[in-house]
Amino acid sequence: MTQPLVLTLACADRPGITAQVTGFLFERGANILDAQQFNDRAANGGEDRFFMRVVFDPGSAAADDLRAGFAGLADSFGMEWKMAREDRPRRTLILVSKFDHCLVDLLYRYRTGELPIEIVGIVSNHPREAAIRVDIGAIPFHHIPVTPETKPQAEAAFRALADETDAELVVLARYMQVFSDEQSAHFAGRCINIHHSFLPGFKGAKPYHQAHARGVKIIGATAHFVTADLDEGPIIHQDVERITHADSPEDLVRKGRDIERRVLAEAVRLFAAERVLMNGNRTVVFRG
Protein backbone atom coordinates (compact mmCIF):
# COMPACT_ATOMS: atom_id res chain seq x y z
CA MET A 1 0.00 0.00 0.00
CA THR A 2 1.13 3.53 -0.77
CA GLN A 3 1.36 5.84 2.24
CA PRO A 4 -2.19 6.98 2.97
CA LEU A 5 -3.22 10.60 2.63
CA VAL A 6 -5.65 12.40 4.88
CA LEU A 7 -8.04 14.97 3.47
CA THR A 8 -9.86 17.36 5.79
CA LEU A 9 -12.34 19.94 4.63
CA ALA A 10 -14.98 22.36 5.84
CA CYS A 11 -17.53 24.37 3.88
CA ALA A 12 -21.12 25.52 3.80
CA ASP A 13 -23.38 22.49 3.60
CA ARG A 14 -24.87 21.63 0.21
CA PRO A 15 -26.28 18.43 -1.26
CA GLY A 16 -23.78 16.13 -2.90
CA ILE A 17 -20.55 16.99 -1.13
CA THR A 18 -19.89 13.49 0.20
CA ALA A 19 -20.72 11.88 -3.11
CA GLN A 20 -18.54 14.26 -5.10
CA VAL A 21 -15.57 14.02 -2.76
CA THR A 22 -15.65 10.23 -2.62
CA GLY A 23 -16.39 10.05 -6.32
CA PHE A 24 -13.38 12.25 -7.08
CA LEU A 25 -11.14 9.86 -5.16
CA PHE A 26 -12.70 6.74 -6.67
CA GLU A 27 -12.25 7.98 -10.22
CA ARG A 28 -8.55 8.51 -9.59
CA GLY A 29 -8.09 4.99 -8.24
CA ALA A 30 -7.83 5.96 -4.60
CA ASN A 31 -9.32 3.65 -1.95
CA ILE A 32 -11.04 5.20 1.05
CA LEU A 33 -9.81 3.69 4.32
CA ASP A 34 -11.77 5.84 6.72
CA ALA A 35 -14.31 8.61 6.32
CA GLN A 36 -16.18 10.71 8.82
CA GLN A 37 -18.40 13.70 8.33
CA PHE A 38 -20.46 16.10 10.36
CA ASN A 39 -23.23 18.43 9.32
CA ASP A 40 -23.58 21.23 11.85
CA ARG A 41 -27.17 22.31 11.56
CA ALA A 42 -27.03 24.52 14.61
CA ALA A 43 -24.29 26.87 13.52
CA ASN A 44 -25.24 30.00 15.41
CA GLY A 45 -28.39 30.72 13.50
CA GLY A 46 -26.38 31.04 10.32
CA GLU A 47 -25.89 28.61 7.48
CA ASP A 48 -25.23 24.90 8.00
CA ARG A 49 -21.61 23.86 7.95
CA PHE A 50 -20.16 20.63 6.61
CA PHE A 51 -16.98 18.96 7.89
CA MET A 52 -15.24 15.89 6.57
CA ARG A 53 -12.13 13.81 7.16
CA VAL A 54 -11.16 11.12 4.68
CA VAL A 55 -8.15 8.83 4.87
CA PHE A 56 -7.35 7.09 1.62
CA ASP A 57 -4.77 5.00 -0.15
CA PRO A 58 -3.94 7.08 -3.25
CA GLY A 59 -2.99 3.98 -5.19
CA SER A 60 -0.89 4.99 -8.16
CA ALA A 61 -2.03 8.62 -8.05
CA ALA A 62 0.58 11.20 -7.03
CA ALA A 63 -0.33 13.35 -4.02
CA ASP A 64 0.42 16.57 -5.91
CA ASP A 65 -1.80 15.58 -8.80
CA LEU A 66 -4.60 14.74 -6.41
CA ARG A 67 -4.19 18.12 -4.71
CA ALA A 68 -4.20 19.93 -8.00
CA GLY A 69 -7.26 18.06 -9.14
CA PHE A 70 -9.11 18.51 -5.89
CA ALA A 71 -8.52 22.26 -5.86
CA GLY A 72 -11.17 22.74 -8.53
CA LEU A 73 -13.78 20.75 -6.65
CA ALA A 74 -12.85 22.52 -3.43
CA ASP A 75 -13.24 25.92 -5.05
CA SER A 76 -16.68 25.10 -6.36
CA PHE A 77 -17.83 24.34 -2.82
CA GLY A 78 -15.84 27.15 -1.19
CA MET A 79 -13.98 24.63 0.97
CA GLU A 80 -11.19 25.20 3.44
CA TRP A 81 -9.20 22.04 2.96
CA LYS A 82 -5.92 20.22 3.44
CA MET A 83 -4.52 17.01 1.98
CA ALA A 84 -1.43 15.63 3.72
CA ARG A 85 0.45 12.39 4.25
CA GLU A 86 -1.11 10.66 7.20
CA ASP A 87 2.19 9.35 8.56
CA ARG A 88 4.05 12.65 8.36
CA PRO A 89 5.04 13.73 11.87
CA ARG A 90 3.74 17.24 12.49
CA ARG A 91 6.57 19.69 13.26
CA THR A 92 6.00 20.94 16.78
CA LEU A 93 7.38 23.65 19.07
CA ILE A 94 6.74 23.34 22.80
CA LEU A 95 6.74 26.32 25.16
CA VAL A 96 7.22 25.89 28.90
CA SER A 97 7.84 27.99 31.94
CA LYS A 98 8.69 26.24 35.20
CA PHE A 99 6.23 23.36 35.54
CA ASP A 100 7.58 20.55 33.40
CA HIS A 101 5.09 17.71 33.94
CA CYS A 102 3.35 18.29 30.60
CA LEU A 103 6.66 18.64 28.78
CA VAL A 104 8.04 15.47 30.35
CA ASP A 105 4.93 13.60 29.36
CA LEU A 106 4.99 14.85 25.77
CA LEU A 107 8.68 13.95 25.50
CA TYR A 108 8.04 10.42 26.73
CA ARG A 109 5.18 9.86 24.33
CA TYR A 110 7.19 11.41 21.50
CA ARG A 111 10.07 9.02 22.15
CA THR A 112 7.84 5.96 22.28
CA GLY A 113 6.40 6.99 18.93
CA GLU A 114 2.95 7.38 20.41
CA LEU A 115 2.54 10.96 19.20
CA PRO A 116 2.80 11.61 15.45
CA ILE A 117 4.90 14.74 15.96
CA GLU A 118 8.46 15.84 15.54
CA ILE A 119 9.57 18.18 18.31
CA VAL A 120 11.62 20.80 16.50
CA GLY A 121 12.34 22.91 19.54
CA ILE A 122 11.58 23.68 23.16
CA VAL A 123 11.22 27.30 24.17
CA SER A 124 11.06 28.85 27.61
CA ASN A 125 10.91 32.29 29.10
CA HIS A 126 13.24 30.90 31.76
CA PRO A 127 16.81 29.65 31.34
CA ARG A 128 17.20 25.99 30.60
CA GLU A 129 18.27 25.03 34.13
CA ALA A 130 15.17 26.65 35.58
CA ALA A 131 12.73 25.37 33.00
CA ILE A 132 13.74 21.79 32.38
CA ARG A 133 14.96 19.12 34.73
CA VAL A 134 15.02 16.25 32.26
CA ASP A 135 17.18 15.11 29.41
CA ILE A 136 15.91 16.58 26.13
CA GLY A 137 18.49 14.86 23.99
CA ALA A 138 19.19 16.58 20.72
CA ILE A 139 16.09 18.76 20.76
CA PRO A 140 17.14 22.42 20.45
CA PHE A 141 16.34 24.61 23.46
CA HIS A 142 15.66 28.31 23.09
CA HIS A 143 15.56 30.79 25.96
CA ILE A 144 13.35 33.70 25.02
CA PRO A 145 12.90 35.89 28.11
CA VAL A 146 9.75 37.98 28.30
CA THR A 147 9.24 41.20 30.24
CA PRO A 148 6.40 43.67 29.82
CA GLU A 149 8.83 45.93 27.94
CA THR A 150 10.34 43.26 25.68
CA LYS A 151 7.20 41.31 24.96
CA PRO A 152 6.81 42.50 21.35
CA GLN A 153 10.42 41.61 20.55
CA ALA A 154 10.13 38.28 22.35
CA GLU A 155 7.02 37.39 20.39
CA ALA A 156 8.69 38.41 17.15
CA ALA A 157 11.64 36.20 18.02
CA PHE A 158 9.30 33.30 18.60
CA ARG A 159 7.51 33.90 15.31
CA ALA A 160 10.86 33.92 13.55
CA LEU A 161 11.74 30.63 15.22
CA ALA A 162 8.43 29.12 14.17
CA ASP A 163 9.11 30.19 10.61
CA GLU A 164 12.66 28.83 10.61
CA THR A 165 11.57 25.51 12.02
CA ASP A 166 8.48 25.25 9.79
CA ALA A 167 6.42 24.61 12.90
CA GLU A 168 2.92 23.39 12.17
CA LEU A 169 1.94 23.15 15.81
CA VAL A 170 2.78 25.24 18.87
CA VAL A 171 2.04 23.71 22.26
CA LEU A 172 1.80 25.80 25.39
CA ALA A 173 2.70 23.18 27.98
CA ARG A 174 1.91 25.22 31.08
CA TYR A 175 3.56 28.30 29.55
CA MET A 176 2.80 31.14 31.91
CA GLN A 177 2.97 34.05 29.46
CA VAL A 178 -0.18 35.29 27.76
CA PHE A 179 0.09 35.68 23.99
CA SER A 180 -0.70 39.15 22.67
CA ASP A 181 -3.68 39.49 20.35
CA GLU A 182 -1.26 39.75 17.44
CA GLN A 183 0.57 36.57 18.45
CA SER A 184 -2.70 34.70 19.00
CA ALA A 185 -3.90 35.72 15.56
CA HIS A 186 -0.62 34.71 13.96
CA PHE A 187 -0.85 31.18 15.33
CA ALA A 188 -4.62 30.86 14.98
CA GLY A 189 -5.69 27.24 14.60
CA ARG A 190 -2.28 25.76 15.30
CA CYS A 191 -1.51 26.74 18.88
CA ILE A 192 -2.83 24.55 21.71
CA ASN A 193 -2.87 25.58 25.37
CA ILE A 194 -3.60 23.50 28.44
CA HIS A 195 -5.68 25.30 31.05
CA HIS A 196 -5.69 23.74 34.48
CA SER A 197 -9.41 23.88 35.06
CA PHE A 198 -12.56 22.48 33.61
CA LEU A 199 -13.45 25.53 31.54
CA PRO A 200 -15.53 27.62 31.60
CA GLY A 201 -15.17 27.21 35.37
CA PHE A 202 -12.26 28.90 37.09
CA LYS A 203 -10.75 31.01 34.37
CA GLY A 204 -7.65 33.00 35.18
CA ALA A 205 -5.02 32.38 37.82
CA LYS A 206 -4.79 29.65 40.46
CA PRO A 207 -7.79 27.61 39.31
CA TYR A 208 -7.15 24.78 41.78
CA HIS A 209 -7.28 27.22 44.65
CA GLN A 210 -10.47 28.66 43.21
CA ALA A 211 -11.88 25.14 42.92
CA HIS A 212 -10.99 24.37 46.53
CA ALA A 213 -12.52 27.60 47.76
CA ARG A 214 -15.73 26.93 45.84
CA GLY A 215 -15.94 23.37 47.14
CA VAL A 216 -16.51 21.59 43.84
CA LYS A 217 -16.49 17.78 43.90
CA ILE A 218 -14.81 17.29 40.52
CA ILE A 219 -11.84 19.08 38.95
CA GLY A 220 -10.61 19.03 35.37
CA ALA A 221 -8.35 20.38 32.69
CA THR A 222 -9.00 21.79 29.24
CA ALA A 223 -6.92 21.80 26.06
CA HIS A 224 -8.00 24.55 23.69
CA PHE A 225 -6.82 26.57 20.74
CA VAL A 226 -5.29 29.87 21.74
CA THR A 227 -7.25 32.94 20.70
CA ALA A 228 -7.04 36.60 21.60
CA ASP A 229 -9.82 35.99 24.10
CA LEU A 230 -8.00 34.42 27.07
CA ASP A 231 -9.40 31.03 28.20
CA GLU A 232 -12.14 31.33 25.58
CA GLY A 233 -10.55 29.52 22.64
CA PRO A 234 -12.21 26.52 20.96
CA ILE A 235 -12.02 23.51 23.26
CA ILE A 236 -10.35 20.40 21.87
CA HIS A 237 -10.40 18.02 24.81
CA GLN A 238 -11.30 17.96 28.50
CA ASP A 239 -11.11 15.46 31.29
CA VAL A 240 -11.97 15.42 34.98
CA GLU A 241 -11.39 13.63 38.27
CA ARG A 242 -13.46 13.28 41.39
CA ILE A 243 -12.18 14.99 44.56
CA THR A 244 -13.42 15.20 48.14
CA HIS A 245 -13.58 17.70 50.98
CA ALA A 246 -10.37 16.14 52.30
CA ASP A 247 -8.33 17.28 49.31
CA SER A 248 -6.24 20.35 50.05
CA PRO A 249 -5.38 22.82 47.29
CA GLU A 250 -2.02 21.04 47.10
CA ASP A 251 -3.78 17.72 46.54
CA LEU A 252 -5.75 19.32 43.73
CA VAL A 253 -2.54 20.60 42.15
CA ARG A 254 -1.09 17.08 42.35
CA LYS A 255 -4.19 15.38 40.94
CA GLY A 256 -4.49 18.12 38.37
CA ARG A 257 -1.02 17.44 36.99
CA ASP A 258 -2.22 14.00 35.92
CA ILE A 259 -5.30 15.38 34.24
CA GLU A 260 -3.39 18.18 32.52
CA ARG A 261 -0.76 15.98 31.01
CA ARG A 262 -3.16 13.40 29.64
CA VAL A 263 -5.57 16.03 28.28
CA LEU A 264 -2.79 17.94 26.55
CA ALA A 265 -1.22 14.79 25.10
CA GLU A 266 -4.58 13.66 23.74
CA ALA A 267 -5.23 17.07 22.19
CA VAL A 268 -1.80 16.99 20.53
CA ARG A 269 -2.42 13.45 19.28
CA LEU A 270 -5.80 14.41 17.83
CA PHE A 271 -4.44 17.56 16.19
CA ALA A 272 -1.41 15.81 14.73
CA ALA A 273 -3.68 13.16 13.23
CA GLU A 274 -5.71 15.91 11.52
CA ARG A 275 -8.70 14.97 13.63
CA VAL A 276 -9.50 18.47 14.91
CA LEU A 277 -11.32 21.02 12.74
CA MET A 278 -12.23 24.53 13.84
CA ASN A 279 -15.92 25.41 13.79
CA GLY A 280 -16.11 29.04 14.83
CA ASN A 281 -15.45 29.11 18.56
CA ARG A 282 -15.93 25.36 18.81
CA THR A 283 -14.22 22.30 17.34
CA VAL A 284 -15.21 19.20 15.44
CA VAL A 285 -13.15 16.25 16.69
CA PHE A 286 -13.25 13.11 14.54
CA ARG A 287 -12.13 10.32 16.85
CA GLY A 288 -11.10 6.92 15.57
C-alpha distance from residue 134 to each of 108, 245, 258, 273, 284 (Å) = 11, 34, 18, 27, 35
Q: Does 129 bind its own copies (CB under 8 A)?
A: no
Q: Does 254 bind its own copies (CB under 8 A)?
A: yes
Task: Quote the least distance from Cβ 5 to its own copies, whole Å.
Answer: 15
Give the residue from 76, 66, 7 showing the smallest Cα distance to 286.
7
Find the binding residues for its own copies in span 173-192 (CB under 8 A).
none
Q: Does 86 bind its own copies (CB under 8 A)?
A: no
By beta-carbon proximity to its own copies, the closer residue of 44 and 76 is 44
Q: Does 141 bind its own copies (CB under 8 A)?
A: no
Q: Does 138 bind its own copies (CB under 8 A)?
A: no
Give the residue from 10, 168, 21 showing the smallest Cα distance to 80.
10
Q: Which residues pair with 77 in a beta bridge?
A: none
Task: Tell which one of 5, 10, 25, 272 touches its own copies (CB under 8 A).
Answer: 25
Q: Does 284 bind its own copies (CB under 8 A)?
A: yes
Please list, in sequence order, all residues whose beta carbon lies within 8 angstroms of the beta carbon of residue 238, skipping any fewer than 6 positions away. 198, 199, 220, 221, 222, 223, 263
Q: Which of 231, 239, 247, 251 is catalytic?
A: 231
Task: Tell which one of 5, 6, 26, 167 touches its own copies (CB under 8 A).
Answer: 26
Question: Active site includes 166?
Answer: no
**Residue 259 burial class via C-beta count within 10 angstroms: exposed 0-12, middle 13-18, buried 19 and up:** buried
Q: Which residues are catalytic?
A: 231
